A and B are shown apart, each in its own frame.
Chain A
C-alpha cells in the first residue's frame, strides 16, 4: 500500500521529522547564532576601515591604514608569538588529555565518575579567576615556592610569574578539562578489545596504542586540537596577568588598543586578522586529522 506513495515522492516515510515543527524549533537558535555572529563580524570588519580621530573616537570612512598597521612588523611578530604560544599549549594539553582520557575510559564506568566530576568541576572557573589565582600561586610573596621552602625543598621563595611557563601552565589548566570533555565520547566508544587484540599479536601496549588506538581517534584528537587552539588563542587575561610584555598575545593588544588607547579601528582590524589566521590554522589541523593532507602515505607503513 505504501509502495506507490514511496515512489511518487521518492522519500521514505519517516516517523521522525514529520511536519514543519522540528524545523521551526531548530531554526530559532540557528538563526539567532548566525545573525549574532555575522552582524558583529560585519561591524568589526567595517570598523577596521574607519578613520580614527586621535582626540576623539572614530568616524565612518574607508582607509587602509588600520589593516596596514595590523599587518606591520610589530603586529606580525605578535601574531607569531600568539600562534606559537597557542600551539605549544595545545600540544601540551593533548599530550596530557589523550593518555588521561584513554586510561580513564578503560576503567569500569562507575569508577570513571569521580574523575570526570573533579576534572570538569574546574570548568566552572572563568579564565579571569584562573589567571589571577595562578598569579598568586606563582608569586614570590605568597606562592607555592613558599610551601616548598617550608618543606625544605628550596632555599628561598621565587617568582615564577610573570613568565612564559606561567602563561602556558594556565593555558593548559583551562584547556585540559575542555579537551578531556571533547575526547571522552570517542574514547569511550572505542572497543576495549582492539588494543587487547593488538597485544595478542605481539604489540607492546605503547605500540598497540600508536598503531591501533591513535588511528581510530585521530579525527577526535584533531577536532579537540582545533577547539583548544582557538580557545587558547582567544584568551587575553592569562597572557596579560601571567606573561611579560614579550608574551602578550594579539588579544592582549586588541584589548589595549580598544580600551586603553581608544583606537577601535586598529583593534577591529587586529581582531579580523586574528580571526582569519586562527580559522585557517584550525581548518588545517582538522584536515590533518582527517588524513586528507597525508593521503600519499601508504596505509600499511611499518612503524
Chain B
C-alpha cells in the first residue's frame, strides 16, 4: 500500500501514527483485529525505514541490522548469522563489518531495509525510502524494492510524494492532499478514474475541460457532445462539471473525424523523443496531446475525444 501526496499533506504523520511514533488526536489504529492505538512503538511489531535511514553511526553495518535481535537478547552468533542472511537478501553480502559512514546512499538504503526486516515485522513501513537517491538509482530501486517486498511477503506501507513511485510499488494507492484522503484504489483505477480534480491533477498529467452534462453518460464540451467513461462519477443532467482527459487518450486528426472532436490550431510542439507533446488551442482552452506528432505550429487540427475515457470530476 502506498500513501502518496504533495509534501505537507500529512502522509508522514499518518505513517508515524501507524508506527506508534505519534499519537492520533482521534481515531484508532488497527492491525488485523488488534487495536494498536495505545500500544507503544516498541511493542507494535513494525519495521520502519526512515527518510534519513536513521542508521546507528556507532555500530557496524551488521550490528545495525542485528540491533533488534540484540534488544531481544538473541545470542551474538545467531544474530550475526541472521544479519548476514538479510544483507544477502538486499544484495550487500560483503559490507557487514563496515561502518555506516563508509557506505553510499543506495547501500545505506538497503541496509536500512535489511534492518527493518530483521525481526520479521507484521508491518513494513517506509517513509520516502527513495527520496535521497539520485534519479537513476531511484528507478532501479523502485523495481528492486517491489521484488524484495514480494519475496518477503510482508504487508508494506510506503509514503512518497512521487506518483510514479506509488504506481510502481503499490497494489493499493492512497492519494492524500489537504490533510485528508482523496482517493483509495489500485494504481490503474487511480490513474484512469480519478474522483476529483486534485487526484486527476496530482497523478500524471491531465487536461481539464469545462463541460455540461447532457444526459447520464454524455457531456457537451465546447459545443461538442461526447460520451463519458461508463463507470465515472454520476452527475445530474444539466449540471456543469469539469471533465478530465489524459493527453495520451486524445488523438490529432488533420480532418474532421467521425466521432466527437474539437477544432483548433497547434500552438507549441515539444518533442521528447519517445513521445511528442503537442499543445492545441481550442477556443480559450489549451489541450495537451501526446502521440506521434507530425504537426507544426500554426497547423489547423482536430482533437478527437476518446469514446470511453472522459472522466467527470466531483466538484
Interchain CA distance A267-B68 in the complex, whole Å = 57
Stretch of A3-11, A129-137, A189-197, A232-240 that contacts chain B: A189-197
Stretch of A44-52, A95-103, A204-212 that contacts chain B: A204-212
- Given the known interface contacts A193-B52, A300-B66, the answer about A199 and B60 at a Cβ–Cβ threshold of 8 Å is no
Please provide the chain B residues from 60 to 102 with a CB less than 8 Å away from any CB of chain A in the complex. Answer: 60, 63, 66-68, 70-73, 75-76, 80
Q: Is there an interface contact between B41 and A196, defined as CB atoms closer than 8 Å? A: yes
- Given the known interface contacts A196-B21, A197-B48, A300-B76, the answer about A203 and B58 at a Cβ–Cβ threshold of 8 Å is no
Interchain CA distance A205-B19 in the complex, whole Å = 15
Q: Is there an interface contact between A302 and B48, defined as CB atoms closer than 8 Å? A: no
A12 within 8 A of B: no
Please provide the chain B residues from 116 to 141 with a CB less than 8 Å away from any CB of chain A in the complex. Answer: 116, 118-119, 125
6 contacts between A and B (CB under 8 A): A197-B50, A197-B54, A201-B67, A204-B40, A299-B63, A300-B70
Residues of A within 8 A of B44 (CB): 200
Residues of B within 8 A of A204 (CB): 40, 42
Q: Is there an interface contact between B50 and A202, defined as CB atoms closer than 8 Å? A: no
Q: Is there an interface contact between A193 and B50, defined as CB atoms closer than 8 Å? A: yes
Q: How many A-B residue pairs have CB under 8 A?
A: 86
Residue of B nearest to A212 (CB): B56
B235-270 CB contact bits vs A (8 Å, 1 = yes)? 000000000000000000000000000000000000
Interchain CA distance A200-B116 in the complex, whole Å = 8
Interchain CA distance A238-B59 in the complex, whole Å = 43
A215 within 8 A of B: yes
* A interface residues, Cβ below 8 angstroms from B: 191, 193-194, 196-205, 207-208, 211-212, 215-216, 298-300, 302-303
Residue of A nearest to B55 (CB): A197
A-B CB proximity, top 4 nearest: A201-B68, A197-B54, A193-B54, A199-B41
Q: Is there an interface contact between B41 and A200, defined as CB atoms closer than 8 Å? A: yes
Among A194, A199, A212, point to the contact of B42 (Cβ < 8 A).
A199
Q: Is there an interface contact between A199 and B119, defined as CB atoms closer than 8 Å? A: no
B115 within 8 A of A: yes
Residues of A within 8 A of B40 (CB): 199, 204
Q: Is there an interface contact between A191 and B54, defined as CB atoms closer than 8 Å? A: yes
Most B-side CB within 10 Å, residue of A191, A201, A207: A201
DSSP majority for the A interface? Answer: helix
B47 to chain A, nearest CB (A): 7
Residues of B within 8 A of A216 (CB): 56-58
B34-49 CB contact bits vs A (8 Å, 1 = yes)? 0000001111101110
Q: Is there an interface contact between A202 and B42, defined as CB atoms closer than 8 Å? A: yes
A222 to chain B, nearest CB (A): 14
Q: Is there an interface contact between B70 and A302, defined as CB atoms closer than 8 Å? A: yes
Q: Is there an interface contact between A196 and B71, defined as CB atoms closer than 8 Å? A: no
Residues of B within 8 A of A215 (CB): 58
Q: Is there an interface contact between A202 and B54, defined as CB atoms closer than 8 Å? A: no
Interchain CA distance A194-B21 in the complex, whole Å = 12
Residues of B within 8 A of A198 (CB): 56, 67, 71
- Given the known interface contacts A203-B42, A216-B58, A300-B59, the answer about A196 and B50 at a Cβ–Cβ threshold of 8 Å is yes
Q: Is there an interface contact between A200 and B19, defined as CB atoms closer than 8 Å? A: yes
Q: Is there an interface contact between B71 and A203, defined as CB atoms closer than 8 Å? A: yes
Interchain CA distance A303-B76 in the complex, whole Å = 12
Among A200, A212, A298, point to the contact of B48 (Cβ < 8 A).
A200
Interchain CA distance A196-B42 in the complex, whole Å = 9
- Given the known interface contacts A196-B54, A212-B56, A216-B58, the answer about A202 and B63 at a Cβ–Cβ threshold of 8 Å is no
Interchain CA distance A303-B116 in the complex, whole Å = 20
B86 to chain A, nearest CB (A): 13
B114 to chain A, nearest CB (A): 12
Residues of A within 8 A of B73 (CB): 302
Residues of A within 8 A of B56 (CB): 194, 197-198, 212, 216
- Given the known interface contacts A196-B41, A216-B57, A299-B63, the answer about A202 and B72 at a Cβ–Cβ threshold of 8 Å is yes
Residues of A within 8 A of B59 (CB): 299-300
Residue of B nearest to A201 (CB): B68
Q: Is there an interface contact between B71 and A202, defined as CB atoms closer than 8 Å? A: yes
Interchain CA distance A263-B37 in the complex, whole Å = 72
Residues of A within 8 A of B63 (CB): 299-300
Residues of A within 8 A of B80 (CB): 300
Most A-side CB within 10 Å, residue of B51, B52, B67: B67
Please provide the chain B residues from 133 to 181 with a CB less than 8 Å away from any CB of chain A in the complex. Answer: none
Q: Is there an interface contact between A200 and B46, defined as CB atoms closer than 8 Å? A: yes
- Given the known interface contacts A299-B60, A300-B76, the answer about A199 and B21 at a Cβ–Cβ threshold of 8 Å is yes
Residue of B nearest to A198 (CB): B67
Q: Is there an interface contact between B72 and A194, defined as CB atoms closer than 8 Å? A: no
B11 to chain A, nearest CB (A): 16
Residues of A within 8 A of B21 (CB): 196, 199-200
Interchain CA distance A148-B19 in the complex, whole Å = 47
Interchain CA distance A263-B220 in the complex, whole Å = 108
Residues of A within 8 A of B115 (CB): 201
Interchain CA distance A48-B41 in the complex, whole Å = 62
Residues of B within 8 A of A202 (CB): 42-43, 68, 71-72, 119
A194 to chain B, nearest CB (A): 5
Interchain CA distance A211-B68 in the complex, whole Å = 11
B69 to chain A, nearest CB (A): 9
B163 to chain A, nearest CB (A): 25
Most A-side CB within 10 Å, residue of B44, B50, B119: B50
Other CB < 8 Å A-B pairs besides A197-B54, A299-B59, 10 of them?
A191-B54, A200-B44, A201-B116, A202-B68, A203-B42, A204-B42, A212-B56, A300-B59, A300-B63, A302-B70
Residue of A nearest to B116 (CB): A200
